[in-house]
Structure 1
Amino acid sequence: MVTLTDEERATLVRWSRRAKSSQALAQRCRIVLGCAEGKSNQDVAAELGIWPQTVGKWRNRFVARRLEGLVDEPRPGAPRTIGDEQIEQVVVATLERTPTDATHWSRASMAAESGLSRSTVGRIWKAFGLQPHRVETFKLSNDPQFIDKVRDVVGLYLDPPERALVLCVDEKSQIQALDRSAPALPMMPGLPERRTHDYVRHGITTLFAALDVATGQVITSVHRRHRAVEFKKFLAELDNEVPADLDVHLICDNYSTRKHPTVKRWLAAHPRFHMHFTPTYSSWLNQVERWFGLLTDTRLRRATHTSLRALENDLRAWTAAWNDDPKPFIWTKTADEILDRLASYLQRIPGAGH
């Protein structure tokens, strides 16, 4: 058993909880504190999710050198030649300025600016997780009912109503039947598949889809256009497919066809159908979009179709194959977690909360 003085115990507790402590040092402190409670190496390892050998190593280091034993030993190799001030200058310049002749820093431009080598700049960026060459996009919803709609949709995912089916509905429009201008060259050892960059268009079609949140089953319908008329036909197909004793909750986007008078009249005549709209610019809330992504990645992106009919048959075949072994998407985030995450983004965007 490890015996601690009051001062050592207070220091270990402080280091294990301090926000600026390294994770490695915090874990070593928790190891020693566990050992001081009389626990075995195996018990401490199981509690912290580490190997018993790791517990034994830091137990022995502490017994031999006390608190100093928990600090990493000096690593072998040449001493550092780049000072903290130079590293700070690179990091500050990367975060707060841009070069005069470009929108972002490259390793070459930062090396010229700082007087360091390109490889040194690259190591500094890697150490601080900086990637000036990358940019990601986002879109904030301007829906005044954003919070209510998020809670409504997420509530259907996490706590669906009884005696009802929850379907995520949307259409994937403008699917092109594309044929390459020359046959593809097959993959060979050392060479990827090669194909011409140009293609021949054979028309476009639209795939309507309704994803059953509970089972992953998908009901689809193919139409050449995507007007209110086609959407109403798809609703009628859903009405025929879903058992008559079940209510139907449809999660949809805000496309104009959803609120067309023709569709409204149909919904009024079929009261078991309930529409739930996602907020504007929030397609990520609709699980069928994930299914469309899989369809694109696995079947459409590299496919060739010599006719529109061939494309439509391919869409039906892929849907049938999916329904032979459907896989539902498991939603885990609560509405509060989503809204808290959004709030953290807004705090980083000047004026976004106004």
Structure 2
Amino acid sequence: MPGPKPLPLELSDHERRVLRGWLRKQTASQALVLRSRIVLACAQGRPNAQVADDLGISRETVRKWRSRFAAGRLDGLVDKPRPGAPRTITDEQVEALVARTLDQAPPTGDSHWSTRSMAEATGMSQSAVSRIWRAFGLKPHTVQTWKLSTDPEFVSKVRDVVGIYLSPPENALVLAVDEKSQIQALDRTQPVLPLSPGTPARMTHDYVRHGTTSLFAALDIASGSVIAQHYRRHRHQEFLRFLKTVDAAVPRDLDLHLVLDNYATHKTEAVKRWLLAHPRFHLHFTPTSASWLNLVERWFAELTNRKLRRSAHRSVVELERDIRGWISEWNKKPKPFVWTKTADEIIETLAAYCTRINDSGH
């Protein structure tokens, strides 16, 4: 039997402003940010189960902070002082350390703070600096790359590609197509030492190059099976040959919808003329700098992680034979990658990210 329906939460304008401010405040703890998200979601009238699913947390967590807020309002979301020895580091010192981590470069000229340099600058211990960074999710030693698309047709292209993922046309095959170029045939300079109890497999960090190959692949988004072909180069001539391979591999009664990036070889006059002569082919281009929209990239990651990263090959022929064998095994039990996000969700997420960047002052 379903449990009792939770009482609705109503927020004052002041409470809503404070909660949204906590979401944007860089010095707010991750726990406080999560609690703010829970309360804002509950205030929209969503049930506990839906809030839990949307935020990836348990229903009990949602119930706990809904009740805490209902009882204590904003003060109910803030952690109370714990029993034990008195604190030696004040809230002001913590906030100053976090702000310094985010806004100032180390005086030594280093590119980023370390626990040692921050400890010297603040007079705290390295362990205290480490605890504070962990509490606020700060990792100065790591960096992630990112790039926002500047394609003027970004929104329309996202809607086109995502729309065909979520609602494929009838009597048609949707293929995510791309090239993995410059795959190197690498051989280690010394034999690989096998896995043994208590010791991982080991290989030398140096290697010998024996040439490269390019892999053209078309991933069937419905079944997960792959049509693939090796070429030593990746010009428009090779792309055209691959289109002919796909054309021969797919039954004639099916239309073909290809999701592609904006690589120049996909748009040459020779390719356009061939496509005009083969009207069952329909191309859907991802926005520039948005390769994450192409599902075949997810399959390339599987190929890299499960095969290429730890393989050794003494020739390009050996490399290509090994990859063909792996693809053959994949196609015996193919696994589709299911796209779940709608175009609106993607656009809203990127808009929120851009707002967060602008609000941060960076």
Report the TM-score when normalising by structure 2.
0.78
Counterpart Cα distance in 2 of 1:139 and 1:14: 36
> Which 4+ residue blocks in structure 1 deviate beyond 3 angstroms?
12-15, 17-28, 48-51, 68-76, 348-351
State yes or no: 1:98 paired with 2:105. Answer: yes
Aligned twin of 2:272? 264
Would the aligned equivalents of 1:25 and 1:71 in 2 still touch at CA under 8 Å? Answer: no
State yes or no: 1:49 paired with 2:50. Answer: no
- 1:246-274 residue CA offsets vs partner (Å, 9 max, x unmatched): 11000111111111121111101100001
Would the aligned equivalents of 1:141 and 1:280 in 2 still touch at CA under 8 Å? Answer: yes
Counterpart Cα distance in 2 of 1:182 and 1:291: 30
Which of 125, 148, 152 is the equivalent residue of 2:156? 148
Counterpart Cα distance in 2 of 1:118 and 1:71: 26
Would the aligned equivalents of 2:35 and 2:77 in 1 still touch at CA under 8 Å? Answer: no
Which of 327, 352, 357 is the equivalent residue of 1:319? 327
Shift of 1:345: 2.4
Aligned twin of 2:26? none
Shift of 1:77: 2.4
Number of residue pairs aligned between Structure 1 and Structure 2: 311
State yes or no: 1:176 paired with 2:184. Answer: yes
Counterpart Cα distance in 2 of 1:75 and 1:236: 69
Shift of 1:226: 1.3
Q: Secondary structure at the match of 2:201?
A: coil
- 1:13-37 residue CA offsets vs partner (Å, 9 max, x unmatched): 769x863796779999xxxxxxxxx
CA RMSD in angstroms comes to 3.1
Which letter does structure 2 place at the counterpart of 1:77? G
After superposition, the Cα gap between the structure-2 partners of 1:73 and 1:129, relative to the gap in structure 1 and judged at 3 Å, is closer
Gaps of 5+ in 2: 1-6, 23-30, 40-57
Counterpart Cα distance in 2 of 1:215 and 1:132: 42
Aligned twin of 1:230? 238
Counterpart Cα distance in 1 of 2:224 and 2:291: 18
Which of 351, 354, 361 is the equivalent residue of 1:343? 351
State yes or no: 1:108 paired with 2:116. Answer: yes
Which letter does structure 2 place at the counterpart of 1:126? R
Which of 290, 294, 301 is the equivalent residue of 1:286? 294
After superposition, the Cα gap between the structure-2 partners of 1:97 and 1:313, relative to the gap in structure 1 and judged at 3 Å, is same
After superposition, the Cα gap between the structure-2 partners of 1:112 and 1:296, relative to the gap in structure 1 and judged at 3 Å, is same
Greater Rg over alpha carbons, structure: 1
Aligned twin of 1:82? 89
Identity across the alignment (%) = 59
Aligned twin of 1:39? none
Would the aligned equivalents of 2:188 and 2:207 in 1 still touch at CA under 8 Å? Answer: yes
Q: Secondary structure at the match of 2:101?
A: helix
Would the aligned equivalents of 1:252 and 1:277 in 2 still touch at CA under 8 Å? Answer: yes
Shift of 1:187: 2.3
Which letter does structure 2 place at the counterpart of 1:196? T
Q: Secondary structure at the match of 1:50?
A: helix
Which letter does structure 2 place at the counterpart of 1:309? V
After superposition, the Cα gap between the structure-2 partners of 1:94 and 1:175, relative to the gap in structure 1 and judged at 3 Å, is same
State yes or no: 1:334 paired with 2:353. Answer: no
State yes or no: 1:130 paired with 2:114. Answer: no
- 1:233-255 residue CA offsets vs partner (Å, 9 max, x unmatched): 11111111111111100011111
Q: Secondary structure at the match of 2:60?
A: coil
- 1:77-123 residue CA offsets vs partner (Å, 9 max, x unmatched): 21212111211211111122111221221111111111111111111
Counterpart Cα distance in 2 of 1:94 and 1:27: 28
State yes or no: 1:220 paired with 2:228. Answer: yes
Aligned twin of 2:49? none
Shift of 1:145: 1.2
Shift of 1:70: 11
